[in-house]
Amino acid sequence: MNDPEHAERAADERDRQEEPAGEAAADVSGADAAALQDRLLRLQAELENFRKRSRREYDEAQRYREIDLLRDLLPVLDNVHRAIDAAGKTADIEGLREGFRMTAQQIEKVLGSHGCATIATDGTPFDPTVHDAIQQQVVPGVSAGTVVATVNPGYTLHDRVVRPAQVIVAKEV
């Protein structure tokens, strides 16, 4: 059974079995080629429309992404305008100071509700990833490399630094 003639006959038999299937496939693709081509074109058009729609929706979302923050900040701006108007009508400096303090707290609350947080500074070890040392100072009783004062607070948005805190850092004598 392992003779070369038997192997050749088996190969011829396989070829004959494949021919009708190949011819049938050729007949099917010949008959349905137009329908398949039409379906392909429709699917390509549908995919292109989906891409365009997705891009348009993404662009719109990017364009208006700050709308919630603005809606939250507008009442704060209204309070600032009221304070400015009140400053022209009163001599109560302490009342104005308290009004501005409350407005600052309102802004901090709005920023916090949008994921913005103040970077911890005073008394913490200096961290160059969130602190910007603008001065070094000898401070008795404080170890070198400790933040002793904040010149400007720093902020993070979730885990990203928006602005590093500008700090004064203790140094050795």
137: which strand partners? 170
- pTM for the predicted model, two decimal places: 0.60
- The closest of 169, 172, 164 to 120, measured between CA atoms, is 164
- pLDDT digit string (tens) for 24-81? 455 556 668 888 999 999 999 999 999 999 999 999 988 888 888 888 888 888 888 8
Rounded Cα distance between 112 and 116, Å, is: 5
- pLDDT for 29 equals 60
Backbone angles phi, psi at 151, to 5 degrees: -85, -50
Mean pLDDT of the chain: 85
Residue 18 has pLDDT above 80, yes or no: no
Map 30-98 to HEC letters.
HHHHHHHHHHHHHHHHHHHHHHHHHHHHHHHHHHCCCHHHHHHHHHHHHHHHHHHHHHCCCCCHHHHHH
At 97-137, the pLDDT tens digits run 888 889 889 999 999 998 999 999 999 999 999 999 999 99
Residues composing the chain: 173
Helix (H, G, I), strand (E, B) or coil at 153: coil
Does 116-173 carry CATH code 3.30.70.100? no
